[in-house]
A and B are shown apart, each in its own frame.
Chain A
């Protein structure tokens, strides 16, 4: 196989595999919002005060998904 074509194939496959990591971030974000919602339904009075904690947890979890996106972009455009 032509080495350039092999390199391109490896880049594309690697970028695709890197995107699997986003699934984990999706699960994490789902857990955070689901637990917030069930907590908010049990005690709606306390829900508003925890909103910034919710956003903080969401942001920290989502960053991990962004990292796998960054790896995919690095493989596609920077290798």
Chain B
């Protein structure tokens, strides 16, 4: 215990696997330091796992599907149904974006549940980049498709004229805070879940070191097992939530009037 304190946030530390080098700067300040980190390694692993799964699943294309093909088709149908119900049939042109985001987040979250694996989605930079991608897709496509009518998004119909300025300000603030809440939700859930798991694991270790009272460590151990189950649920749920919100925002981009 004394020589190695249990640190619940140590698991999120980014380490360099191999350095690529520093570009620009004068050696002491500035410059961009590029390195292949454990975060990058697990992003590559995530993409590789998804690619293998989908390529393998669609390689045979039998009329009576095998197990892998069935799973790949279920994943496709699940996301396609979600896009159709929340973004409309028109939204199916964004199906590749939503499917990629859903599969990446789902597999990255589930990878994070393996012991000693790095959780990519517990890094705010990763979730922020995905949320900003969605945000700018919505803004650019909204203006491209609707022109200036896209600004009707900020003017809800049926509002009395005397409180309209206040509502417009609130709508603009809520629109601009979307990428913030979109990214923080996924990041916060993964970070908090993994910290809680480590805290309960640390309690088990601390109680086992306490001699005869070690028998009490069964309680936090049972809690850690239950929380692991909950974390699997949260992993899938947060991937679903991220994809549903992407669809809702895309629906706004296509139909800003209502």
Contacts and interface: CB of A to CB of B under 8 A. Distances in A.
Q: A and B from one assembly? A: yes
Interface of A: 52, 55-56, 58-60, 62-63, 66-67, 69-70, 73, 77
Contacts, number: 36
A55 B185 CA distance: 13
Contacts of A77: 9
Given A52-B244, A56-B248, A59-B244, A70 B184 contact: yes
- Interface residue tally of chain B, by bracket? 10 to 19
B240 A55 contact: yes
B21 to A, nearest CB: 29
Interface string B171-213: 0000000000100110011011000000000000000000000
B64 to A, nearest CB: 28
Contact of B245 (A59, A69, A70, A73): A59
Contacts of A62: 185, 189
A59 B241 contact: yes
B85 interface: yes
A62 B192 CA distance: 13
9 contacts: A52-B85, A52-B244, A55-B244, A63-B181, A63-B184, A66-B184, A66-B185, A67-B181, A69-B192
B228 interface: no
Nearest to A58: B241
Contacts of B191: 73
Given A52-B244, A67-B184, A70-B184, 5 more contacts: A56-B245, A63-B181, A66-B185, A66-B188, A66-B189
Contacts of B189: 62, 66
What 5 A-B pairs come out closest when comparing CB atoms? A66-B188, A59-B241, A63-B181, A63-B185, A69-B188
